[in-house]
Amino acid sequence: MTVDIRNRALQVIARCQRLACFSEDSGSTRRIFLSPPMRDCHHEIATWLEPLDVPVKVDAAGNLRAVYPAAESNAARLLIGSHLDTVPNSGAYDGVLGVILAIALIEELRGQRLPFAIEVVGFSEEEGVRFGAPFIGSRALVGRLDQELLDRRDAQQISVRQAIEDFGLNPAQIPQAELQTDTLGYLEFHIEQGPALENAGQPLGVVEAISGQSRLQFTFLGRANHAGTTPMHLRYDAIAAAAEWITAVERTARGVPDLVATVGSFEAKPGATNVVAAEARLTLDVRHRSDEVRARAVEDLTREADKVAQRRSLSLRHAYMLDEQTTAMDPFLVGQIGEAIEKTGCTPLHMVSGAGHDAMILAEKVPAAMIFLRTPGGISHDPAESVAVDDVEKAISCGVHLLDQLASSAQFQQGTHRA
């Protein structure tokens, strides 16, 4: 490794930490879709791209877009990026690292132009924190930021459409954010967010597929009553019903290999110590690499929620917020990434991602692929999330080899590798 790449890796980490300061909360990082700190984040990134003569634009879905031109005008483009939004109390690397590594790869070119342009993309929304539905940014690129999603409201009853307008953008221009026919593919660097690379003793992995995921909202509706005067057998307690069901969710997932199911958010009304709860609202997140296993689990858990509600004479509502199938990454790009990782002196670990990523949305329209970086302790979605500088060096080095390989592949540039 050259000293230059070491410094570049240190700079990448420092930039990730810098962006973590742009937050809605003081003392921790939380940056949701089109919140004021997202604007600051865009401005900061623009200052890094300015010396490279790469202007930054924000499309109508709030995605940061910046094109490093090809050697010749009208050449096709390769997208490299990830997302800039975060979960509450997040770490500094989930998503952000992929955007900053894209910039680092352009810097590594030192002005050299490739046969294709590189478009850096910083997606506005991948986590689903503000509106419950994730991938708002990447859905715009594949033409799926539809009316239903635009009408979705956050906890303050602000719709996605309104949030876009409030940020000074025009929802009518969303179609212009869509991928053009000149897009050769999409690459995403991301921390693994799990323990597999660490267990294998490898810094980098190549993602072969991204697990499908279902996200739903369940509401148990009971009846509020006085906590001191209502005998236990006369209660219609929504929290007690929800609790019973949550344990069933955990039991079901533990009983099926590799199935994960999570109740990640819970809200009860009226929410007072001395009132039996009238309403309990929960989210359910279910993932598995087999769509069939995932669909069966959602069916079983929905039936179980119904049973719990009936047994307790409560009513139940449920609605889907997301249903994404398991998505294969582009075999040609997977092969190229494997080769590039080997050139860094490492053995690529072939993996299925349990986490969702923008690449699964982009893959609907263009060849997409991902490179994972080892995540110390497998810790993510937490401020303790980290990445080793050595591994970032390897990632930059892998990216440099990969761009080199793609720049000399007629098959890639002519798109003849596509299935």
367 binds, among Mn ion, ligand GLV, none (CB under 5 to 8 A by kind): none
Name residue, tokens 């995540």: 375
- Residue 244 contacts which entry, ligand GLV, Mn ion, none (Cβ below 5-8 A, type-dependent): none
φ, ψ of residue 67 in degrees (nearest 5): -105, 125
Print the binding letters for residues 88-107 with ligand GLV: x by CB under 6 A, - otherwise: --------------------
CB of 52 to ligand GLV, least distance (A): 29
Under rule CB under 6 A, how many of the chain's residues touch ligand GLV?
A: 3
**Min CB(326)–Mn ion separation in Å:** 17
> Using CB under 6 A as the criterion, what x/- string covers residues 348-387 for binding ligand GLV?
-------xx-------------------------------
Q: Which does 188 bind (CB under 5 to 8 A by kind): Mn ion, ligand GLV, none?
A: none
Distance of CA 169 to CAs 35, 127, 415, 417, Å?
13, 21, 33, 37
CB-wise, 52 or 352, nearer to Mn ion? 352
Binding residue (CB under 5 A) for Mn ion from 94, 107, 125, 192: 94
Task: Return the number of the residue (244 or 285) whose C-beta is nearest ligand GLV.
Answer: 285
User: Using the rule CB under 5 A, which residue among 37, 95, 128, 203 binds Mn ion?
Assistant: 95
Q: Which is nearer to ligand GLV, 59 or 94 (CB)?
A: 94
Q: Please select the residue that binds ligand GLV; options are 119, 127, 279, 393, rule is CB under 6 A.
A: 127
- Bridge partner residues of 356 (DSSP): none
Smallest distance, Å, CB 137 to ligand GLV? 13
> Quick one: 373 or 402, whose CB is closer to ligand GLV?
373
What crossing angle do the helices spanning 3-19 and 36-49 adopt, rounded to 10°?
160
356 binds, among Mn ion, ligand GLV, none (CB under 5 to 8 A by kind): ligand GLV
- The 3-class secondary structure across the chain, one letter per residue, is CCHHHHHHHHHHHHHHHHHCCCCCCCCCECCCCCCHHHHHHHHHHHHHHHHHCCCEEECCCCCEEEEECCCCCCCCEEEEEEECCCCCCECCCCCHHHHHHHHHHHHHHCCCCCCCEEEEEEECCCCCCCCCCCCHHHHHHCCCCCHHHHHCECCCCCEHHHHHHHCCCCHHHHHHHCCCCCEEEEEEEEECCCCHHHHHCCCEEEEEEECEEEEEEEEEECECEECCCCCHHHCECHHHHHHHHHHHHHHHHHCCCCCEEECCCEEEECCCCCEECCEEEEEEEEEECCHHHHHHHHHHHHHHHHHHHHHCCCEEEEEEEEEECCEECCHHHHHHHHHHHHHCCCCCEEEEECCCCHHHHHCCCCCEEEEEECCHHHCCCCCCCCCCHHHHHHHHHHHHHHHHHHHCCHHHHCCCCCC
What is the C-alpha to C-alpha distance for residues 219 and 135, in angstroms, rounded to an integer? 24
Which of 27-35, 50-58, 89-97, 335-343 is the region at the interface with Mn ion (rule: CB under 5 A)?
89-97
Stretches 68-76, 94-102, 236-244, 344-352: which one binds Mn ion (CB under 5 A)? 94-102
Q: Using alpha carbons, select from 95, 3, 109 the residue that is nearest to residue 45.
A: 95
**Smallest separation, CB 345 to ligand GLV (Å):** 30
- Pick from Mn ion, ligand GLV, none: which does 330 bind, CB < 5 to 8 A by kind? none
Task: Using the minimum distance from each CB to ligand GLV, give the nearer residue, 94 or 393.
Answer: 94
Q: CB 138 → ligand GLV: shortest distance, Å?
A: 12
- The smaller minimum CB distance to ligand GLV, of residues 277 and 355, is found at 355
Which is closer to Mn ion, CB of 97 or CB of 140? 97
Residue placing its CB nearer to Mn ion in the complex, 59 or 94: 94
Residue 194 interacting partner from ligand GLV, Mn ion, none (CB closer than 5 to 8 Å by kind): none
Of 289, 282, 410, 406, nearest in space to 352 by CA: 289
Query: What whole-number distance in Å separates Cα of residue 65 and Cα of residue 77?
Result: 12
CB of 355 to ligand GLV, least distance (A): 4
Residue 98 interacts with which of Mn ion, ligand GLV, none, CB < 5 to 8 Å by class: none
385 contacts Mn ion (rule: CB under 5 A): no
Residues found near Mn ion in the complex (CB under 5 A): 94-95
Residues of the shown chain interacting with ligand GLV in the complex, contacts defined by CB under 6 A: 127, 355-356
